[in-house]
Amino acid sequence: MSNILKDRNLTMLMDFYELSMANGYFANNKQDTIVWFDMFFRRIPDGGGFAIMAGIRQLVDYLENLKFTDEDIDLLRRKGLREDFLGYLKNFRFTCDVWAIPEGTPIFPGEPIVTVRGPVIEAQLIETMVLLTVNHQSLIATKANRIKRAAEGRTVMEFGSRRAQGYDGAVYGARAAYIGGCDATACTIGERDYFVPAVGTMAHSWVQLFDDEYEAFSAYAREYPDNCTLLVDTYNVLKSGVPNAIKVFKNEIVPRGCRPKGIRIDSGDITYLSKMARKMLDEAGFSDCKIVASNSLDEYLIRDMIAQGAAVDSFGVGERLITSSSEPVFGGVYKIVAVEENGIPMPRIKLSENVSKITTPCAKKVFRLFDNKTGKALADVVTKVDETIDSTKPYEIFDPDYTWKRKRFENFTAKPLLVKLFEKGKKVYFSPDIKEIRRYCEAQVATLWDELKRFENPHKYYVDLSVNLWQTKQKLLEGSSHNHFRADEQSDYSQDCPKSD
């Protein structure tokens, strides 16, 4: 797959305050200060038990192509930025280290899902696009995974292009939906650019254009005899739509040595209509003809339809998937967590009266603990960057807020989740094929306990801090009338956040 963003310069897609701060860093001679930023999120959309990571391929493409054009520089000059800073931007080169959790991985609040280390100006300028890219695709992938699980193994197709939030919302939404579990998309460009299978049947306008429904179905069947799915709800599903479809299957499809692909119901009481249509199709000898349902579906409607015995084989899900309309924001944030002094990352913390907005300091790693017997994910542990978890020894985790809540694990494997994308600005990660990402997502979701997959009141997954990381955070919280360590405190805490590799 080619780098689609190469010919599309998105460097200036950033909040202007990123440039204001970068200009200020330059004025204060801080442009070479090495910092660590984490992207994380605080709450799972729709009250779910987990989210799905997505958008890394586009983030990598963006970071590979950072450059400021002469036109960009002229605009920023008119905005009053310093001439020496503009000279820096004209010769801009990305040199940061970047890590991320791979696409398709279940992710949880509070843990770093993207980490950036490098000169403060570079790390600051990319904030908007890091958040925009990962927030959007993770939101849609998460929603798609919920819908696919509700379908209980039935096919789910993403049908939302026309109701997406703009062009990119449609295209990248189709990609993210496929990662999350959808089997196909109606968005044709999604197959051209991202190899997401594109599918489609007919619209009501096709049926209305012909003199009658039977003629419309016949014309379509003659053109697509080996891939014929007929939309049966333009007039009356049971009185005309299904009977006419059956006639066409007998008169046009079977004589050509083919079998009908399906019928689609897009309105009405789909549960009732599908059961009646199934009976009619079976009695006519078309038990292999599938029934497709569409029309403003979501995971709750699909779950209820299946529980009520709907005879639906696949679902086309549009606006409520592509916009995640039930909760259209994935609240990822990007916060500074360390500033290097003499090569040592000194912790930074953001305090707040809103406890949920207090950040976790330090350069960090994330480990996922898996039970060796069941293969199930047990917990995630966030550690300092130099820490490891020895799987050969028992390991105890504890709730960072209610520290008396503890759990001890034995016979487990600790897997680091963050993988390196860039080394000093050079790409060192190559994204897997999208089908491989989708299979990986399915396999990783399978490692989660069913209690975590409930739509209502899911079990809370453990995301805990290592002892060393928790202690450093407590020192900052307990001692601080300031919100970070001063340079002269370095000797007291240098062992808490040692130099990274």
Q: How far apart are CA 476 and CA 360, in angstroms?
A: 10
Judged against a pLDDT cut of 60, whether residue 488 lies above it is answered with no
Between the alpha carbon of residue 299 and those of residues 48, 222, 371, 433, the distances in Å are 12, 35, 30, 27
Helix (H) / strand (E) containing 397 = strand 395-398
Class of domain 201-257+266-288: alpha beta
Judged against a pLDDT cut of 80, whether residue 496 lies above it is answered with no
- pLDDT tens digits, one per residue of 205-262: 999 999 999 999 999 999 999 999 999 999 999 999 999 999 999 999 999 999 999 9
pLDDT band at 489 (very low <50, low <70, confident <90, very high): very low
Between the alpha carbon of residue 156 and those of residues 150, 152, 162, 244, 322, the distances in Å are 10, 10, 17, 26, 13
Nearest of 252, 254, 258 to residue 219 by alpha carbon:
252
> What is the topology classification, in CATH, of domain 4-140+329-360+417-451+472-493?
nicotinate phosphoribosyltransferase (3.20.140)
pLDDT band at 483 (very low <50, low <70, confident <90, very high): very low
pLDDT band at 326 (very low <50, low <70, confident <90, very high): very high
Tell me the pTM.
0.93
Confirm if 473 and 389 have CB atoms less than 8 A apart: no
Q: How far apart are CA 84 and CA 33, in angstroms?
A: 17
- pLDDT tens digits, one per residue of 12-67: 999 999 999 999 999 999 999 999 999 999 999 999 999 999 999 999 999 999 99
pLDDT band at 479 (very low <50, low <70, confident <90, very high): confident
Judged against a pLDDT cut of 70, whether residue 285 lies above it is answered with yes
- pLDDT tens digits, one per residue of 384-393: 999 999 999 9
- pLDDT tens digits, one per residue of 329-369: 999 999 999 999 999 999 999 998 888 899 999 999 999 99
Per-residue pLDDT, averaged over 70-84, amounts to: 97
Strand partners, 115: 38, 99
The residue extents of the domains of the chain are 4-140+329-360+417-451+472-493, 201-257+266-288
